[in-house]
Chain A
Amino acid sequence: MRSTWVAALATVAVAGGLTYLDASASSSDPGFDPVRSLGFAVPFATVGLLVLGVLVGTSEFSTGNFRSTFVAVPRRLSVLAGQVLAMTVFAALVAVLAVGSSVLAILPSAASRGITPDLGGDGVLRNLIGSVVLLSGTGLVGAALGAWVRRPVAALVAAVGICLVLPMVLVLAADLVTDPLAASAAGGSSAPESPLETFARFTPTGAADSLLWREGGALQGVLVLAGWVVLPLTAAAIRLSRRDLV
């Protein structure tokens, strides 16, 4: 589908372009470390992959293609499994290209300051690999939602709501919650995690955070993200096997 390729291309281009801009902008700073620009474009790339996922997940159903597909292969769940596999490969490919383009994008600014970027450095590798996993996972979340809901607009709204609006809401909530008095009453910097923060860890964005940054949180991040893929997919599978395909 043409729109799928447009989305994929746009994601890779945006990832590279934005990283380049950020690196050039900060290249004049004294403490410039080019690898710090690497994660800059990831949130934007996430949007691209989300849209990509929704487009792929709904494409069969919105075009009516599903009729010929499921007539040719009556075992519906195996078709779904095949589609999931194909999507995983596609999303991973786009993710690798996006992260790769952001790595390339820091090179010009690094060269202008004579620094060779240290990709093996502290946490950088985790960042890079984690970004690829995150982006692929986001694509799969979009596809899972699309396969479940089957209508592109509704799936897009749901995906945007969960992955983009929800974190903004949580930030808003955190703003409302922060109360200097309560913090000091609980004992200052070693305050236990608020329920809000725990909740946030189970959102896709929170998972991204755990995966990329939090100490020892990588596994938890992957599991949460996987959960966001598996649950809608299960709903999609149930819907597929139970209902008539009309």
Chain B
Amino acid sequence: MISSDPRPPAVTGHRVTFVRVLAAEWTKLSGLRWMPWLMTVTVVAATVLALVLSLFARVGTPALELTTSGHLAAQLGLLALGALIGSGEFSTGTCRSTFTAVPRRLPVLMAQMLLTAGIAAVTATLALVGAHLATADHQGFPALGTEPSQTLRISVGFVLQLTLVALLGLGTGALVRSPAAALTTLVVLFVVLEQFLVANPGPVADTVRALTPGSGTRLFADQTGLDDLAAGAGPELGAWGGGAVLAGWTSLVLLAAAYRLRRHDVT
């Protein structure tokens, strides 16, 4: 019997490390044609939306309210981003190659989380800047809000909420492993549910509203918005409380996706 390894290795590679997995996932993501396209469309849609709304807005509308009004378009785009990245491995069959190379599996999910967060943060920031530029000089609005701490909180909150939303999309996509199913679930949770709860206020509705992932939008609500919410019947969360609820949902879904990945078969 011939010995098991007589030939000189053609490759002196090292072990699988997280940094390497991260590099590999980036190689994969950066090659996807739809990605820059989706990012561009999201930024443009948010900017255009803010611009159009600013044309209608009456004199005296706070500038920040206009800048963040492009949010609805940005959120849809980032939900789609997360859902597509999360389910991509499974819907294309690439998972078989990927998890043969990385049998520990979780590093791949973690790398995807990092990359999705990064891409989402960049897209959200660009959308914010774009909307700001598009609305800044319109009808003589002041360039930014008069209170720097509010401005900072709202801007950071905007980017943070959208990043968390993208991560929630990632987790849902990785959990259900189908982009259409993931997107449908997310749309129902974020768009339909929110719309419905706003239209039918009441103690139950307000409480539910505070506990859904949509409550994360408080992160970038301005003071009047927060006051209105506080006046309602639900628990008083404030901006960071709403963010915590969204973060909680995102963590939960990501944990479920990690569990499924680790314990169940990949086929």
Contact = CB atoms under 8 A, between A and B. Distances in A.
Please say whether the chains A and B touch (CB closer than 8 A). yes
A152 interface: yes
B210 interface: no
A153 B196 contact: no
Interface residues of B, number: 28
Nearest to B183: A156
A179 B80 CA distance: 36
A173 B77 CA distance: 20
Contacts of A176: 53, 56-58, 61, 65-66, 69
Contact of A169 (B49, B61, B192, B196): B49
A161 interface: yes
B179 interface: yes
B72 interface: yes
Contacts of A182: 58
A54 B180 CA distance: 10
A51 B66 CA distance: 31
Contacts of A43: 192, 195-196
Contacts, number: 72
A44 B53 CA distance: 27
B56 A164 contact: no
B134 interface: no
Given A47-B187, A55-B180, A153-B180, A177 B195 contact: no
B144 interface: no
A196 interface: yes
B76 A44 contact: no
Nearest to B195: A168
B188 interface: yes
A54 B184 CA distance: 11
Interface in B125-139: none
Interface string A160-179: 11001101110011001111
A219 interface: no
A157 B183 contact: yes
Contacts of B61: 176
Interface in B191-206: 191-192, 195-196
Given A153-B80, A153-B180, A47 B58 contact: no
A165 B61 CA distance: 22
Contacts of B65: 176
Nearest to B45: A161
Nearest to A159: B187
Interface in A177-207: 177-179, 182, 196
A47 B189 CA distance: 12
Interface string B65-97: 110010011001100100110000000000000
A223 B73 CA distance: 27
B181 interface: yes
A157 B83 CA distance: 12
Nearest to B188: A47
Contact of A172 (B58, B69, B180, B192): B69
A153 B76 contact: no
B72 A169 contact: yes
A167 B57 CA distance: 17
B202 to A, nearest CB: 9
Given A157-B80, A176-B61, A165 B180 contact: no
A153 B180 CA distance: 6
A3 B181 contact: yes
Contacts of A51: 180, 184
Q: Which of A160, A164, A172, A173 has the most chain B CB atoms closer than 10 A to its own CB? A: A160
Interface of B: 49, 52-53, 56-58, 61, 65-66, 69, 72-73, 76-77, 80, 83-84, 179-181, 183-184, 187-188, 191-192, 195-196
13 contacts: A43-B192, A51-B184, A54-B180, A153-B83, A156-B180, A160-B76, A161-B73, A164-B187, A169-B49, A169-B53, A173-B52, A176-B57, A196-B56
